[in-house]
């Protein structure tokens, strides 16, 4: 290696892979990115502005709270954000109403959470501290919140990891990137190219082999890439499919202690904002929560684009696993019909463009994002330890306090709704 810069292969051209590649290239390494898809961005998936009227996001959409890394990057890229302000509504099966800020169980929940010393799963926490019929409502609402927003399984999810979010009360602001998350990916990819990073698309890595000296990274199509070190940024479920050298395999096994949840996201663009026209109180509606099969909806407010986005997360998305894109859109229209007391056909009449993604079915994501079990911090520390030629990175390894804040605001609303 003397005289030559270290060659590093980064696997995955999502946000984490691009950030790693940029940093390594800036530090003088020779960097190649191997990406299974034909595009950068991974779980950041822009939809055509020509269809939606703006660069809509089928994956990540919100910038959570302070999000120092993201906001720093946005400043570097000269991109701005639009903060989200407005009212949150709910549908209780009969009527639409503005969120009621009063929750009778909240003070007691906070007291018990505040006194908690040792971690336990959310389901165990509820069984231990909130058993009995008096707490039926609380247990139900927390179960739904953990599933719906964290996309997590209450039988495995960590109570301590969620405590901060629950006690936050939804005070943190949220924003959207003007130009969508795709603009950030374009910026990072451009930076990488400017630094001489090589991109190889359509390369699904199947194995990393130790050859006594350098590593050999094998792609499903048969390509072989030699390098000194490799950085794996693939989503957790994809790790299982990649054959790894012994030491890396042992580390990768700890990924089993990090949860990974699924999300269905639906975007419906209409010719006109019929919900605002029907009820002028909804003019500044942001989020709308319900118990329909696609339970959560949001508008583009304060933008005026007449687009409604539907959201369903967690283990119960399995109930809709057989639905294709068309079936998901139908489920979305049925849910909106029930919420607004309109026929499905009346709503569909104004449709201009649609998109629906069940992220579980995306072959290179197999879900949406990670969530914490009581053993996740330990697993993250093992995976993040840079002690061999194969390194691990990516969303599931992020240990900052705000790692799930983008979901807080809805969570607070969900909690109050029950
Ligand atoms: C529907 C949805 C909504 C979300 N909303 C938000 C939000 O509002 N705000 C927020 O902050 N976060 C949100 N997230 C989470 C956010 O998208 C992710 O945390 C982030 O994009 C992950 O980046 P990453 O680089 O770690 O992983 P990825 O973006 O998944 O990148 C990994 C890359 O690896 C590639 N890959 C996979 N397998 C292989 C292989 N074998 N060989 C080579 N390449 C491979 C993939 O194609 C992908 O490009 C959302 C996620 C989803 C799915």
3-state SS string over 125-183?
HHHHHCCCHHHHHHHHHHHHHHHHHHCCCCCCCEHHHHHHHHHHCCCCCEEEECCCHHH
How many angstroms separate the alpha carbon of residue 364 from the centre of ligand 1? 9
- Whether residue 242 is contained in a domain is answered as yes
- Whether residue 95 is contained in a domain is answered as no
pLDDT of residue 401: 53
The model's confidence at residue 416, banded by pLDDT at 50, 70 and 90, is: very low
- Whether residue 76 is contained in a domain is answered as no
Examine the domain organization and report whether 351 and 410 are in the same domain: no
User: Mean pLDDT over all residues of the chain?
Assistant: 91
Examine the domain organization and report whether 163 and 308 are in the same domain: no
Q: Is the pLDDT of residue 297 over 70?
A: yes
- Whether residue 85 is contained in a domain is answered as no
In this predicted model, what pLDDT tens digit does every residue of 52-63 receive, in sequence order? 999 999 999 999
Q: Residue 416's closest CA among 93, 26, 145, 111?
A: 145
- Whether residue 77 is contained in a domain is answered as no
Examine the domain organization and report whether 188 and 39 are in the same domain: yes
How many angstroms separate the alpha carbon of residue 63 from the centre of ligand 1? 14
Examine the domain organization and report whether 290 and 315 are in the same domain: yes
Q: Is the pLDDT of residue 407 over 70?
A: no
Q: Is the pLDDT of residue 70 over 70?
A: yes
Q: Helix, strand, or coil here: 363?
A: coil
Could you tell me which residue, 227 or 173, shows the higher pLDDT? Answer: 227
| Tally of structural domains, the chain | 3
CATH at 309 = 3.90.660.10
Beta strands 30-35; 198-201: pairing state: parallel
pLDDT of residue 14: 98
The residue range of the domain holding 163 is 101-170+404-417
The model's confidence at residue 414, banded by pLDDT at 50, 70 and 90, is: very low
Examine the domain organization and report whether 220 and 357 are in the same domain: no
pLDDT of residue 409: 43
In this predicted model, what pLDDT tens digit does every residue of 267-289 receive, in sequence order? 999 999 999 999 999 999 999 99
Q: Residue 161's closest CA among 169, 152, 170?
A: 152
Examine the domain organization and report whether 245 and 388 are in the same domain: yes
pLDDT of residue 168: 61
How many angstroms separate the alpha carbon of residue 44 from the centre of ligand 1? 6
- Whether residue 90 is contained in a domain is answered as no
In angstroms, the CA 368 to CA 366 distance is 7
Mean pLDDT of 92-112: 83
Work out the burial of residue 249: count CB atoms within 10 Å of its CB; fewer than 13 is exposed, 13-18 middle, 19 or more buried: middle
In this predicted model, what pLDDT tens digit does every residue of 11-67 receive, in sequence order? 999 999 999 999 999 999 999 999 999 999 999 999 999 999 999 999 999 998 778
In this predicted model, what pLDDT tens digit does every residue of 224-263 receive, in sequence order? 999 999 999 999 999 999 999 998 999 999 999 999 999 9
The model's confidence at residue 400, banded by pLDDT at 50, 70 and 90, is: low
Protein residue with its CA nearest to atom 19 in ligand 1: 395
- Which of 9, 10, 12, 218 has the most ligand 1 atoms within 8 A of CB, as the residue to mutate? 12
In this predicted model, what pLDDT tens digit does every residue of 116-170 receive, in sequence order? 999 999 999 999 999 989 998 889 888 878 888 889 999 999 999 888 777 765 5
In this predicted model, what pLDDT tens digit does every residue of 331-343 receive, in sequence order? 999 999 999 999 9
- Which of 60, 205, 252, 294 has the most ligand 1 atoms within 8 A of CB, as the residue to mutate? 60
CATH at 213 = 3.50.50.60
pLDDT of residue 242: 98
SS (H, E, C) 98-116: ECCCCCCCHHHHHHHHHHC
Examine the domain organization and report whether 216 and 270 are in the same domain: no
- Which of 18, 19, 43 has the most ligand 1 atoms within 8 A of CB, as the residue to mutate? 43
Protein residue with its CA nearest to atom 50 in ligand 1: 60
pLDDT of residue 171: 53
The model's confidence at residue 100, banded by pLDDT at 50, 70 and 90, is: low
Examine the domain organization and report whether 308 and 355 are in the same domain: yes
- Report the percent of the chain where pLDDT is more than 90: 79
Q: Is the pLDDT of residue 417 over 50?
A: no
How many Cβ atoms sit within 10 Å of the Cβ of residue 2?
Answer: 3
């Amino acid at each position: 290696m003397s005289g030559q810069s270290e060659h590093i292969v980064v696997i995955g051209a999502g946000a984490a892979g691009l950030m790693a590649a940029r940093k390594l290239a800036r530090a003088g390494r020779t960097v190649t990115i191997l990406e299974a898809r034909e595009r950068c961005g991974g779980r950041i998936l822009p939809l055509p502005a020509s269809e939606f009227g703006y660069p809509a996001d089928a994956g990540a959409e919100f910038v959570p709270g302070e999000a120092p890394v993201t906001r720093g990057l946005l400043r570097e890229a000269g991109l701005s954000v639009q903060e989200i302000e407005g009212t949150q509504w709910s549908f209780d099966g009969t009527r639409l109403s503005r969120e009621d800020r009063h929750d009778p169980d909240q003070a007691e929940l906070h007291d018990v959470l505040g006194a908690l010393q040792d971690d336990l799963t959310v389901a165990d926490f509820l069984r231990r501290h909130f058993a009995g019929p008096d707490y039926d409502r609380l247990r139900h609402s927390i179960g739904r919140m953990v599933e719906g927003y964290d996309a997590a399984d209450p039988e495995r999810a960590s109570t301590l990891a969620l405590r901060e979010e629950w006690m936050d009360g939804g005070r943190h602001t949220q924003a959207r990137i003007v130009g969508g998350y795709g603009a950030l990916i374009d910026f990072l990819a451009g930076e990488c190219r400017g630094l001489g990073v090589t991109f190889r698309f359509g390369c699904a890595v199947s194995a990393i082999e130790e050859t006594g000296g350098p590593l050999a990274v094998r792609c499903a199509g048969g390509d072989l890439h030699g390098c000194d070190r490799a950085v794996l940024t693939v989503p957790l479920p994809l790790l299982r499919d990649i054959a790894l050298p012994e030491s890396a395999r042992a580390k990768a096994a700890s990924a089993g202690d990090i949860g990974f949840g699924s999300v269905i996201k639906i975007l419906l663009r209409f010719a006109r904002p019929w919900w605002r026209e029907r009820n002028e109180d909804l003019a500044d509606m942001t989020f709308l929560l319900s118990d329909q099969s696609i339970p959560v909806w949001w508008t583009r407010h304060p933008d005026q684009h007449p687009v409604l986005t539907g959201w369903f997360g967690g283990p119960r998305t399995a109930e809709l696993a057989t639905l294709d894109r068309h079936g998901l859109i139908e489920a979305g229209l049925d849910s909106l019909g029930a919420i607004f007391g309109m026929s499905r056909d009346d709503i569909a009449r104004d449709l201009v463009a649609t998109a629906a993604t069940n992220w579980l079915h995306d072959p290179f994501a197999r879900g949406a994002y990670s969530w914490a079990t009581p053993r996740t911090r330990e697993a993250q520390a093992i995976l993040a330890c840079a002690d061999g030629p194969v390194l691990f990175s990516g969303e599931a390894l992020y240990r900052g306090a705000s790692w799930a804040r983008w979901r807080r605001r809805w969570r607070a609303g969900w909690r109050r709704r029950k």
